[in-house]
Chains A and B, each alone.
Chain A
Amino acid sequence: MSNPPSDPDWTVHPIRLTSISARYLTRFVPIILAVFTVLISIYGTIAYREALSSLESKLDTLVSRQSLLMGEAVAEGRNDRIGLLVAQTIADRDVATIAVLDNSGAALNQYGDLPDQNAPLTRAVAINYMGENSYKRVGTLVISMSEGPAVDRLTYTLFCIALLGLALLAAASVAAHLVLRTTVSQPLDKMLTAIRIQRESGARIPIDWDSEDQIGQVVSAYNALQLRQTKTESDLTRLRVKAERAHQSKSDFVGRVIDELRTPLNSIVGFSEIVSSQRFGPDTIHRYLSYAGNINQAARHLLYLIENILDLTQLEGGEVEPVFAPVKVEMLLRRAENTASSLSRNKGVRLTVNRPTLGYALNVDAELIGTLLGKLLENALRKTPEDGKVELTFAVSPGGTASFTVHDSGKMIPEAEIERLLIPLAMSREIDERRYHGTGLGLPICKILAEMHGGTLEISNPPTGGSAVSLLLPPSRVTETPETGPSTGGDIQPGTNHRATRASVQYLHGPA
Chain B
Amino acid sequence: MHRSQRKTRQNSGVAPFIAAFVFAALFCCAQAFGASPDLNLDQNGLALRGYDPVSYFTDNRATPGKPGIAAKHGGATYYFADENNREEFLREPRLYGPHYGGFCAYGVAVGQKFDGDPEVFMIVDGKLYLQLDRATQTLWKAELDKNIAIADRTWPVIKPVPAAVLNE
Query: What residues of chain A have their CB less than 8 Å away from a CB belonging to chain B?
Result: 60-61, 64-65, 67-69, 71, 124-126, 128-131, 133-137, 140
Interface residues on B, range: 20 to 34
Q: Is the CB of B14 within 8 A of A126?
A: no
Q: Is B82 at the interface (CB under 8 A from chain A)?
A: no
The complex places the Cα of A71 from the Cα of B112 at a distance, in Å, of 12
CB contact list, B129-168 vs A, under 8 A: 132-133, 135-136, 139, 147, 150, 153-154, 166-168
A126-B166, A133-B153 given as contacts; is B107 within 8 A of A64 (CB)? yes
Complex contacts, A69 vs chain B, CB 8 Å: 135, 139
Q: What's the nearest-Cβ distance from chain B to residue A486, in Å?
A: 109
Give the residues in chain A near B14, CB-CB below 8 Å: 131, 133-134, 136
Cα A13 to Cα B136 in complex, Å, equals: 61
Docked complex Cα distance between A69 and B142 (Å): 13
Q: Can you show 27 pairs from A to B with CB atoms below 8 A apart?
A: A64-B107, A64-B115, A65-B135, A65-B136, A67-B112, A68-B136, A68-B139, A125-B112, A126-B112, A126-B166, A126-B168, A129-B110, A130-B109, A130-B110, A130-B147, A130-B150, A131-B14, A133-B10, A133-B11, A133-B150, A134-B10, A134-B14, A135-B18, A135-B109, A136-B14, A136-B15, A137-B111
Q: Which 8 A-B pairs have the closest CB atoms?
A: A128-B110, A135-B111, A64-B114, A126-B167, A130-B110, A135-B110, A128-B111, A134-B11
Q: Are B153 and A134 in contact (CB under 8 A)?
A: yes
Looking at B18, B106, B111, which has the most chain A CB atoms within 10 Å of its CB?
B111
Q: Which residue of A64, A124, A131, A134 is within 8 Å of B112 (Cβ)?
A: A64
Judge if B81 is at the interface, Cβ distance under 8 Å. Answer: no
A64–B132 touching, CB < 8 Å? yes
Cα of A67 to Cα of B139 in the assembled complex, Å: 13
Chain A residues with Cβ under 8 A from B150's Cβ?
130, 133-135
Closest partner residue, chain A, to B166 (CB atom): A126
Tell me if B104 counts as interface (CB < 8 A to partner A): yes
Q: Once bound together, how far apart are the Cα atoms of A458 and B134, in whole Å?
A: 119
Would A61 and B133 be within 8 Å (CB), given that A68-B106, A129-B110, A130-B109 are in contact? yes
